[in-house]
Chains A and B, each alone.
Chain A
Amino acid sequence: MNLTQELELFPDHTVTQMLFKEVKNAAELRQSAVDGRINGALINPTMLVNPFQVLVAANKAVHLQLIGKMKTRSLNSEIIFNLSPTNNISEAFKRFGTSDGDESVMLVVVHCKNESQLLEDIAAQVDGRQVPVEDVSWLSDLAKIRKLFKVAPQEETCGTLLDAVVCRMAIKDVM
């Protein structure tokens, strides 16, 4: 049910995504992440079109960490910041991070290869039902995503909504 992808540019870094529904302890999870007891990014899956979005955000976060140019204080918060189309950090957390009442959570962990125990330990902290990561498309709030990313209908005639979103994420620093 997990989705695992090695970052080709950074072979020491692998990204695993885990999707949970019917989550009962979102507030507690968020606090654990803030306190550093969960070494992962907790994302609001309704703002995701596709898991590829998370991979693009994670790859950029690892890159910026290595060259010392992160805009936030940790790799996990940088992943959340990179998902947003704007450079406003608090807005990025509000929209793309988990909020206290959320019933679904995408848990993203950047780790070394073969760390299944670590992943199990992190997943065990979620009080919810794990579902396949691909199911995220059922949760996407497409109207909200189109509005936040300012995607007009004509853009979707020449590419997917995912392309539109990923392009904005990739180049927001120079817009």
Chain B
Amino acid sequence: GGNMAPEKSATVPQFLRGAELVKQGAEARVYRTQFLGRPTIVKERFSKRYRHVALDEKLTRRRTVQEVRSILRCRRAGIPAPAVYFVDYTSHCIFLEEILRSSTVRDHIASTQQSASCTVQELDRDQDRELVQEQELEQLAQQVGQILAKMHDEDVIHGDLTTSNMLLRRSPEDRGSDLVLIDFGLSYISALPEDKGVDLYVLEKAFLSTHPHTEALFQKLLKSYSASSKKSSAVLKKLDEVRLRGRKRSMVG
């Protein structure tokens, strides 16, 4: 207390030792636990040893702040993102609502593709099923395009768009699913079409490398983005430029 420097609290890291580790990343660990009686996800950012201590503290804090600010900005605009329950800026932990009955868009696409390709018998019925699955994926791609358009119209740049950072949540009465965006650790606010174009480029790279043979599907996503966003033409133009730069860079090696 008094005028001493605030202590670093050890209580949260200690608590997390008893929680279930969901993911060990390069910059953060994700845990699943109960908090105030509710199913909760905890995201703990940790230090990079090679960085200067004070600088590292500052960067890690900034990421934590950016993440919770972007979540609130999205939610205000009606874009689903997990609710924030508690933030500990001393141990860089964010306590988030666990999105129940959900799977990542990545897993959903992968399992749909797999079940479509491993069918050999009963060709007619399988063709029907394949068609249904194709339509379902197209609908999902459209949903993703819409939500990203809405997010960019709010000038939120996600910074790390992948199909793992989108959750598909089944509604309780089984009336379809909605998308929930997660992991805003690299997000920031910008109105520049260039920044939005790069955001989409990052997704395109991740999407096409994670899900083979989805070029047409990704085009559907972009088409829906374009139809939903007020400022899409400048963004898509930038996306083209960024792609070209990317290709040139890879030709040079």
Q: What residues of chain A have their CB less than 8 Å away from a CB belonging to chain B? A: 5, 7-10, 52, 55-56, 59-60, 63, 66-69, 152, 154-155, 157-159, 163-164, 166-168, 170-171, 174-175
Contacts and interface: CB of A to CB of B under 8 A. Distances in A.
22 contacts: A5-B37, A8-B33, A8-B35, A8-B36, A55-B36, A56-B85, A56-B86, A59-B36, A63-B11, A63-B88, A67-B6, A67-B9, A68-B7, A158-B75, A158-B78, A158-B80, A159-B83, A163-B75, A163-B83, A164-B83, A168-B72, A170-B85
> Which secondary structure characterizes the binding site on chain B?
mixed
B80 A159 contact: yes
Contacts of A5: 36-37
Chain B CB count within 10 A is highest, among A7, A67, A157, for: A67
B12 interface: yes
B76 A155 contact: yes
A166 B83 contact: yes
A7 B38 CA distance: 12
Contact of A66 (B9, B15, B36, B78): B9
Interface size class of B (residues with CB under 8 A): 35 or more
Contacts of A155: 75-78
B69 interface: yes
Given A10-B11, A63-B88, A164 B75 contact: yes
B116 interface: no
